[in-house]
Structure 1
Amino acid sequence: MSMKHPIIAVTGSSGAGTTTVKHTFEAIFHRENVNAAIVEGDSFHRYTRDEMKRQIEEAEARGERGASHFGPEANLFEDLEHLFRAYGESATGRRRWYIHNEEQSMRRNLPMGTFTEWEDLPVGTDCLFYEGLHGAVQTDTVDVARHVDLLIGVVPTINLEWIQKIHRDTRVRGYSKEAVQDTILRRMHDYVHYIVPQFSRTHINFQRVPVVDTSNPFIARDVPTLEESMVVIRFKDPRGVDFPYLLTMIDGAFMSRANTIVIPGGRLDLAMQLILTPLIWKLMEHRRQAV
């Protein structure tokens, strides 16, 4: 962790909704005039899309489980920790971008599923902001979480997470439903060992819980909306959290535990603004004092 060069990380699995939280942070950064160096977690995958496909096919031909984007075999965990350490020490480091879709492909003039070249982070940033799968990952040799000053977990219930992934990957990325189901099954071991443990290290978790039937995520026609959900917000350390203020400002909110507030899903953006803005103020104030 660093007073001069703070790091903020939003972590959650594929289809969890981390991009939505990223947009909220970007709005706060813009409003509060915070210059953040943005890092996308997918850029620390080890393989291009075609290389990953070949790795999986070769493993399955040998009767083995193929690598998944949740685990260490398919990711550059050491490089990610090195970036966090370098930024915390001197606001330096290198990043690249993963080409997800056709628009990015045309803008960068690169095929989808590939990476840009590595580049130096911009000079003079106020903080580093990471959004991806592994903002709090730990292994026997890597501890990314220890470098992060503010860790946010985005954790929908598992069936909702699968519904969101199925709909995104079939409708936006063009995969078949069967291919997405195979991916979910192949990732399960790494999900349990590398994704789930992160949420015991986060400072705040936002967990969306649908209040409609999601018992069979593989036949769901639509993704439950925020208005069809409640959001459970858990604070690792509730000291200093003004729960009476939040309960007053967020209509329909209630406390379920001493460190947990539950809100209607439609109030999620408001809740994130109310909760996260003071935390960013605090990080920036500490940075000004240290500099």
Structure 2
Amino acid sequence: MLIELEVAPGGRDAVAARVAHDARIATIEATTGQRGLVLHARFRTPREQDEYVESVLGSIPGIIAARQTPVREMIVSPAAWRTGKLPAPQHHAAVELSRIDAGRTVTRHPTVLELRVLRELGADGRRSAADIARRIGYSLSAVNSAIPRAVHGSGIAEFHVDFAAEHLGWTTMGTILLQAPRAQLAEIGAALWRYPGHVRTALALFGQANLAVSIWSREHWAIEVMEEMITTSFPQVRVADRWSTTRFYKRDGALLRSDGSREGFVDVITIEEDSL
């Protein structure tokens, strides 16, 4: 779910601070244009989503308007994004490992232990098995056994390494909203997969604009070039809107300072143990 918020001048930081610690809000980005803030949210039901917008966002001073756009499918995932910095042997090894992991994965509900392991790794993917075992009160052997099952075999987890992009020269971040024939979405998605150094995510949406393509680049003209590439290759596609991201307040659960460094973490796994 994308929630675009129109915020009163001077109120953006305060609004972001009010929603940042909610586990249902995975990412908060500040944008150019009328919207001000874009929230990437996850809700279990449409009713929960509606109650959040009406009761939570409706009670926060400074929010002028909220527009909801459901996400139908993630066509390109952040896990597919590449910086192009790995030497060829390391890149090949990573590709081979991902193929092995894909072959092991069967989508299922995690066990309580696996869920706790995923929460610990979500907060810090570098935590050792011994540290996790100490933190959640299980034996080291149980945690050692649960980690590969949770990470590679549950089918519910996807891991990727993230960083403060602007510190490594990725200074242009933006999103293009497109109107595309639904029958062409899969073909457009396959074309976007060929640009892993620029296309960060691509989301199929329910709405008049039904495709959101997020781009990170080192060059300010990258968004225009990607627009031209898509509309030239697919003449029936129209650009409905676009925005530049000026900063992230939160990204995939990580709370970020204005310089892009991490200052905290909010667990964004919405599965409850008592439901397992």
TM-score (norm 1): 0.28
Structure with more of its chain in strand, by fraction? 2
TM-score (norm 2): 0.29
